[in-house]
Amino acid sequence: AQKVTQAQTEISVVEKEDVTLDCVYETRDTTYYLFWYKQPPSGELVFLIRRNSFDEQNEISGRYSWNFQKSTSSFNFTITASQVVDSAVYFCALSEVGTGGFKTIFGAGTRLFVKA
Amino acid sequence: EAGVAQSPRYKIIEKRQSVAFWCNPISGHATLYWYQQILGQGPKLLIQFQNNGVVDDSQLPKDRFSAERLKGVDSTLKIQPAKLEDSAVYLCASAGRADTQYFGPGTRLTVL
């Protein structure tokens, strides 16, 4: 069964702190994709990163980094030196390749508050 | 490149009324999705189109919800009749390769 768990409902940090958002997934497929999206207060979901199941290399993009570990079925997201503009809801998502195309499921999201 | 367009942005209706939402995906994207996002929750897939064919509508309440994608481009999602529990944001997304989905701004529906 396909499942994405974001155990942290809300996180509050002070600006310049580092913060890690956890994502644990379940899938029986060997080929799948993992995503992170940001949903700022304006409401539009913004794509941050896509990772396929065969690429466990960690990725860094500016202050953002992602740690993909198949052994623990986790795809965690770290923001270094957080800023107020990082305040948003962050969603982790899993896509499996099905017969009719990709089937995607989203986690419940983690709301991040960054205080000045 | 233009993003995913949706209209209207906001809609307030009374229960038992009908409502329709429109989505124009990113040009060239074959896959189009409609999601329902209830406050405080993640998006839940309602229906997925590949060109103008339905790939997955297993979570679409077909007694009241319908969707179509004419000519494999624009799509409309309709609710008839609306219930109070349909109050949510309705998100449209489109995808090109590898299911990287790009989302529109959403339509916030309030059912009174």
Largest CA distance in chain B: 40
Alpha-carbon distance B56 to A101, whole Å? 9
Confidence of residue B52 (pLDDT cuts 50, 70, 90): confident
Least confident segment among A102-116, B69-83, B89-103: B89-103
Confidence of residue A87 (pLDDT cuts 50, 70, 90): very high
**Any chain A CB within 8 A of the CB of B58?**
no
Ordered DSSP codes for A16-79: T--EEE--EEE-S-SSEEEEEEEE-TT---EEEEEEETT----EEETTEEEEEEGGGTEEEEEE
- Check if the beta carbon of residue A93 is closer than 8 Å to that of residue A105: yes
pLDDT greater than 70 at residue B98:
no
**Any chain A CB within 8 A of the CB of B100?**
yes
Summarize pLDDT for A41-57 with one digit per residue, the tens: 888 899 999 998 988 88
Summarize pLDDT for A57-82 with one digit per residue, the tens: 888 889 999 999 999 999 999 999 99
Alpha-carbon distance A91 to A43, whole Å? 12
Cβ count near A116 (within 10 Å): 7
- Which among B41, B45, B105 is the nearest to A104, CB-wise? B45
Task: Give strand pairing partners of B69.
Answer: none
Alpha-carbon distance A110 to A38, whole Å? 10
- Average pLDDT score over residue span B64-88: 95
pLDDT greater than 70 at residue A33:
yes
A contact test, residue of B23, B89, B97, B101 with most A CBs within 10 A: B101
The conformation of residue B60, written as its DSSP 8-state character, comes to: S
Alpha-carbon distance B109 to B85, whole Å? 10
The answer to whether the Cβ–Cβ distance between B33 and A104 falls below 8 Å is yes
A contact test, residue of B33, B45, B97, B99 with most A CBs within 10 A: B99
Average pLDDT score, chain B: 93
For residue A58, what pLDDT is reported? 84
Residues of B in contact with A106 (CB under 8 A): 42-44
Considering only alpha carbons, which residue of chain A is nearest residue B47? A103
For residue A100, what pLDDT is reported? 65
